[in-house]
Amino acid sequence: MIKKKIIVSGIVQGVTFRKHLMVMALALNINGYAKNLNDGKLEAVFIGKKENVDKMLEFCKKGPLLANVRKYEISDFNGEIKGFSIK
């Protein structure tokens, strides 16, 4: 199990980014969350098997069709989360 946090900037709010992450997380058995930040960025935490977390991170680097990801920062996450939620 690995735990990662990603902050994504660009056009990432109002483009169904969080909804896509929720669907993927449920399919890949990922715990964590996705939330919009006040500064226009998106923050997400993924906890699960390495290969599944890697899939989530790869998706975040491009985002859904209407998104325009300009930058992302990935870091380790310390903590426990059960399930996946949109905040």
For 16-48, the pLDDT digits (tens) are 999 999 999 999 999 999 999 999 999 999 999
Q: Is residue 86 part of a domain?
A: no
User: Is 68 an active-site residue?
Assistant: no
Torsion angles phi and psi, residue 59, rounded to 5: -60, -40
User: Is 36 an active-site residue?
Assistant: yes
- For residue 31, what are the β-bridge partners? 47
Give the active site residue among 36, 38, 68, 70: 36
Number of domains in the chain: 1
The structure's pTM equals 0.96
Q: State the CATH number of the domain containing residue 54.
A: 3.30.70.100
Q: Is residue 87 part of a domain?
A: no
Q: Dump pLDDT digits (tens) for 50-61.
A: 999 999 999 999
Domain span at residue 35 reads: 2-79
Give the active site residue among 18, 29, 52, 68: 18
Q: What pLDDT shows up at residue 76?
A: 98
Torsion angles phi and psi, residue 22, rounded to 5: -65, -45
